[in-house]
Structure 1
């Protein structure tokens, strides 16, 4: 009789990802990778892939609007996916950034950071900080420019540097902004604004409509954090995922001048994001913070929808307006 062997699972998030004891990983969710394009047929935006660092390996997809003759704002973008799925090269993010770059007329740098479980957190935080340093280094006047990326060097306005992301990417943007409040960047570059779209924050004490008790322990946000960062001090109340927890660094330390927090009415992360917005307002932070809500929509609808619905257009226009102010 033949025998079948079933690989043992070390950790998993049902319907999302499985990590086997032999080290292999099976991702059950995520859109396919697509190549960059020199002229996107829908928007005219050009894109290309570059390497930021070889050790660790950090790459990015750059986006440039068509017919450029002037300096443009720079958006450093962090994709979503719970720190463990999706990619800067995924079809969903590629379509979304083509739309946003065309609407806002910005250069975008979409970071391909390392994912858990192969590289558990805090790897993604370190990669995104390294990417911000790399972008800022293009502001330096150097004799040797061979290591510089021409799109950034030729068209980037380093007085208008933004960071932003969706879901886990919104969490990354918050934490990178907090770090920028403590550490300086090459050339003295400052973050002008940060966009947190449907940001991934959570905690052990439910607020608003969040699940209570054992239901919270079984919730997707809870499971994702424990999978992506199993060694986190404080678990789900680590300040990286729960910046409102007692003892977390003051939100007054955010290292940007402007902040846009976007929420969706049907998103389970909505209530905590609104709470975050209010706490930033009350923190003594010296910048300008805005809240933008699209009612009746689910988490990251503006990326997941294939067609540009009225609400998708409204969302992308709001982001674009923030980036050109």
Structure 2
């Protein structure tokens, strides 16, 4: 390979390398999975759409048994440190094919732009655009960037919109819920619930994300003390303003982020936010274990709890 003779500037093996000439080599790629109108086991239908020039998505529709019944809507943000991951990957599809039937939710899995080609705040901008696009379907005749999606119009319940994500996706969920609380969504749509699995936060104490944050957002105001990555930073919005009625936070015993995730839960409790909060702290497991291997007993148990959280 030509890259073997080039000098490496940033090495995030086994995920990617950035060379001094600006070339980005992506080392880890979960196999691509095409959409299907009838999954052989779950009978979920999936299709790929373009939301805008920057944002695409894969939409999951559970098996419809009552065409007159409206279903919850889940806007899902994948993990990957803001620099890797794909809604078209085997990892994400295996996970969501487990979650969607349990949640019985029309699910929009958002493909946001990735660093370093598109440094933050691109991923946040794309994630917000996708959420507003979903909300716009609640208003007849609204002008949106992209075509209307019939699965949302025909089957989506805009009184039951939830957000969800693992790792960096959990970080995005927090920031989208905060933004929804402060700015509101098209049509007055409210976020009912949000689940965050091992959300990617860090603070002044090194927890492994500092190097990643500097890489994906080198111009971040405040650096590691940006409220986007550090919910406890000076000037961070009061957590009481978070724009959802209920939250589900998952931690894992062996995860390096467990400590800050537990601090986040305690801060939510003390903030004055009056929503419902559920914490699941899984023994013996590591970061986002349920997304990496959804087939294990503990993963199945957690996915069932998340599904019930969305469905209820």
Please state which band the TM-score falls in when normalised by the shorter chain: over 0.9
Are 1:94 and 2:93 matched, yes or no?
A: yes
Local SS of the residue matching 1:19: strand
Post-superposition offset of 1:302: 0.7
Pairwise mapping of residues 40-79 of structure 1 onto structure 2 (< 5 A)? 40-54=39-53, 57-68=54-65, 69=67, 70-79=69-78
Report the Cα distance in structure 2 between the residues aligned to 1:23 and 1:39, rounded to whole angstroms.
Answer: 42
- The separation in 1 between residues aligned to 2:35 and 2:90, in whole angstroms, is 10
Contact 1:195 1:260 in 2 (8 A): yes
**By how many angstroms is 1:24 displaced?**
2.1
1:276 Cα deviation (Å)?
0.0
**CA distance in 2 between partners of 1:91 and 1:204 (Å):** 35
CA distance in 2, matches of 1:85, 1:5: 21
How far, CA to CA, are the matches of 2:119 and 2:73 in structure 1?
A: 28
Match of 1:323 in 2: 310
Kept in 1: contact 2:208–2:256 (CA 8 A): no
Q: TM-score by structure 2 length?
A: 0.94
**1:210-257: CA deviations, max 9, x gaps?**
xxxxxx3xx632221111111112222211111112321111110111
Alignment check: 8 A CA contact 1:259 1:290 kept: yes
- SS of residue paired to 1:225: helix
Residue 240 of structure 2: which of 249, 252, 272 is its match?
252
- What's the CA shift string for 1:143-184, capped at 9, x where partnerless? 999931010010000000001100000000000001111112
Does structure 1 residue 33 correspond to structure 2 residue 36? no
Q: Using the TM superposition, give the Cα deviation of residue 47 of structure 1 relative to its aligned residue in structure 2, in angstroms.
A: 0.5
Q: CA deviation at 1:287?
A: 1.3
What is the aligned-residue RMSD (CA, Å)?
Answer: 1.9
The within-5 A match list for 1:126-145 is 126-142=125-141
Q: Secondary structure at the match of 1:182?
A: helix
Give the CA deviation at 1:18: 1.3
Equivalent positions of 1:1-325 (< 5 A) are 6-54=5-53, 57-68=54-65, 69=67, 70-142=69-141, 147-205=147-205, 216=206, 220-305=208-293, 308-325=295-312
> How far apart, CA to CA, are the structure 1 residues paired with 2:122 and 2:142?
33
Which range moves more in the overlay, 244-253 or 111-120?
Answer: 244-253
Greater CA drift, 22-31 or 144-153 = 144-153
* Structure 2 residue runs without a partner (length 5+): none
Query: Is the contact between residue 13 and residue 223 of structure 1 (CA under 8 Å) also seen in structure 2?
Result: no
Q: CA deviation at 1:4?
A: 9.8
List runs of 5+ in structure 1 lacking aligned partners.
206-215
Contact 2:87-2:111 within 8 A present in 1 as well: yes
Assess if the C-alpha contact under 8 Å between 1:59 and 1:112 holds in 2: yes
Greater shift after overlay, 143-152 or 231-240? 143-152
Structure 1-normalised TM-score?
0.90
Provide the secondary structure at the position in 2 that maps to 1:268.
coil
